[in-house]
Structure 1
Amino acid sequence: MWIETIVMPREEPAAYSSPAPRYDRESGQQSACAMGRQFRDTVLSYLQSNELMSAVKWISEPGSIPMVTLHCTSRVLEQLQKSPEFEAGRSLSLTGF
């Protein structure tokens, strides 16, 4: 059975303790998109190195935040949750309401 899983980087509690530096919107958008691509590449690398790609049906394209959505099996979700690199969980299904 395929489930929808959301994966984000695991962050240290003090990650947002200092104010963000100021920059213009264009460079901020470019930087955010680069971080999104880099995170997606990290997730793909993890899935490939742990031989989990056969249990992944779909993976989202990179966006402007470091987050990836997968359609995968529960085994993939369990492996991602065990990894110290990622926070992962099932997305809320709104079907049947």
Structure 2
Amino acid sequence: MTILTIVCTVYQIKYIFKLNKISQIREDFSYAMVHDMKTPLSTIMMVQDMLKSGRLEGKPEIKNKYMNIAESETDHLFALTNKILTISKLENHKLEMNKT
């Protein structure tokens, strides 16, 4: 009976360490994803402010350049959002993956 108790206790300790590691990975992922999302948002906000200010009205080449940058960052933000949604669906077993 003592051996069974020791084995169960060791198993529980390993399980707790595994859960802690998973929790740490999830936290690191969340931090990285938020950081990756802030960059495109900051760029889009900067372009928006420049367009509102009217400083680019007489400079169509620069205006187009900044608009292209904002469009690229918007696409990047959508891609990150789609990755988060896909991971969420996988975790909730709402999306099945098939090997091909």
Higher share in helix: 2
Choose between structure 1 and 2 for higher RCO, CA contacts under 8 A separated by at least 6 residues: 1
Coarse TM-score class (shorter-chain normalised)? 0.3 to 0.5
Higher share in strand: 1
TM-score with structure 2 setting the length: 0.31
